[in-house]
Amino acid sequence: MRAQVGDEYDWWFRAAYPKVARTVLLIVHDRAAAEEIAQDAFVQLYRHWSTVQGYERPDLWVRRVAIRLAVQYVKRERMRRQRERLAVETRTEPVPLPDVARAVAGLSPMQRAAVVLYYWADESVFDIARTLEVSESSVKQHLFRARSRLARALDEEVNGDVV
């Protein structure tokens, strides 16, 4: 009995797959995606074959499933492209010069965190202290030491007007 069900499904698959795949291709305009969507529709047909085989036109059932999947794919791809475009269009913060970035990378982790949060994230000493779970005086100490090390690394003078 199972072999007969498999044979019947195979016949419907062979007869309907090219038309379904072509229909999906015309909707999604991507051959690989169309083949995958058509295959997914036929997997659903196979899962529901005991019910669908009694329909007058099982090929129309699988085509309707494939079209629904194709429309979902097109919507998902449109949203993905919009999000990617927004991500590219989003203004990015300026990145430090390579020598500055290299000098910052040479700091201790706490000094580096304090410098990044203070100078690039523009956070207050109070907020940095809360973020790093240290006292405000500890943050000031990390910033002072970091500025000294950065000045030496970049051959610049340290001025005392910060923090």
Domain assignments of the chain as residue spans, ordered by start: 2-89, 98-154
47-55: list long-range contacts, CB under 8 Å, 24+ apart: 49/5, 49/9, 50/5, 53/5, 53/8, 53/9, 53/12
Identify the pLDDT of residue 72: 95
Beta strands in the chain (DSSP E): none
CATH no. for 2-89: 1.10.1740
Question: Does residue 119 register a pLDDT over 50?
Answer: yes
Q: What is the mean pLDDT of residues 41-45?
A: 94
Examine the pLDDT at 33 and tell me if it is beyond 80.
yes
pLDDT at 1: 40
Maximum average pLDDT range among 25-34, 91-100, 142-151, 153-162 = 25-34
CATH number of 98-154: 1.10.3210.10, 3.90.550.10, 1.10.10.10, 3.30.565.10?
Answer: 1.10.10.10
pLDDT at 160 over 90: no
How far apart CA 29 and CA 78 sit, in angstroms, is 13
Continuous H helices in 55-124? 58-89, 98-105, 109-115
How far from 144 is each of 89, 98, 130, 141, CA to CA, in Å?
A: 36, 22, 18, 5
Mean pLDDT of the chain: 85
Mean pLDDT calculated for residue range 111-122: 86
Q: What is the mean pLDDT of residues 96-125?
A: 84
The reported pLDDT for the residue numbered 135 is 94
